Chains A and B, each alone.
Chain A
Amino acid sequence: MTAAGKTVGKTVDGFNPVIHAPNRLRICALLSAADQAEFSFVQERLGVSASVLSKHVSVLMDAGYVKQTRAVRDTRQRVWLSLTKEGRSAYKAHVAALQAIVGGNQDA
């Protein structure tokens, strides 16, 4: 389990502070609907700068939630992002926690 998945970051079952930051939540949501997405696709859909996206991706990668692969096409290197298995389950748990909060079912 990564640091983000430990109780240190949890305040309700599945609630994950690493994922909950608005842009990181949107990155995870976007990647959860895809096998993989190109960095520029994510950047465009989020409407953020490359440096902001890089920063959030780094946090998610450090937590073990996102992985990136590089591919060269048309002499340009492209970065593809995808959720790891751990990231996918952490994201699902976080969404469930949000739904519990909306439904008024949180224990905290």
Chain B
Amino acid sequence: METREFTQGPLPSRQEAADALAAVEQARTAVETAQWPMWYFVALGAWVTPLGLLSWMPTEFPQALWGVAALAVWAALLGALVGLGAARAGVVPSPSRKQVVHMAAILVPVAVAAVPISRIVGEDWMWPALSALEGAMIIVYALALRLRSARSA
């Protein structure tokens, strides 16, 4: 139970300030190490996988509206999935610089890999191949992170 209160009293000493900064780091680490459930990443990967199939939807009006509707449903269900994951984890971390780098490390190589794949299997398959690879990478990345944190625990 906390009893110390700082009002308009003297500034904290150097040691007290250092202790406060240590408490700050500890609290931030508690958020960074909070784990979202593994089912969330599996579901997210599975949900991202078929997104590329939307590129096969007709582009002429009014049939194109089906594609727009499908994308809206996909996005709404994605939002619901993220909401479920957040509710289970109890926290929605702000993406750190490290996480942004990790996301780029997943997205960029997969996007690059999708180009030669599309040349082999046909351009129609570029977006489906890209989204399938992104979905698989999300699951693999989450598994790798989970294994690493289990080892370091």
Contact = CB atoms under 8 A, between A and B. Distances in A.
B37 interface: no
A95 B8 contact: no
Contact of B28 (A29, A36, A40): A29
A35 B94 contact: yes
Interface in B1-53: 1-2, 4-8, 10-14, 17-18, 20-21, 23-28, 30-32, 34
Nearest to A95: B24
Nearest to A21: B5
Interface stretch (B62-70, B85-93, B111-119, B121-129): B85-93
A37 B11 contact: no
A73 B21 CA distance: 35
B94 A52 contact: no
A26 B28 CA distance: 8
Contacts, number: 105
A25 B16 CA distance: 13
A108 B8 CA distance: 13
A20 interface: yes
Interface in A65-85: 71, 73, 78
A21 B28 contact: no
A30 interface: yes
A89 interface: no
18 contacts: A11-B8, A17-B7, A23-B2, A26-B23, A27-B27, A29-B26, A30-B31, A32-B94, A35-B92, A37-B92, A45-B27, A45-B30, A45-B31, A98-B20, A101-B11, A101-B13, A102-B18, A104-B14
Interface of B: 1-2, 4-8, 10-14, 17-18, 20-21, 23-28, 30-32, 34, 86-87, 89-94, 96
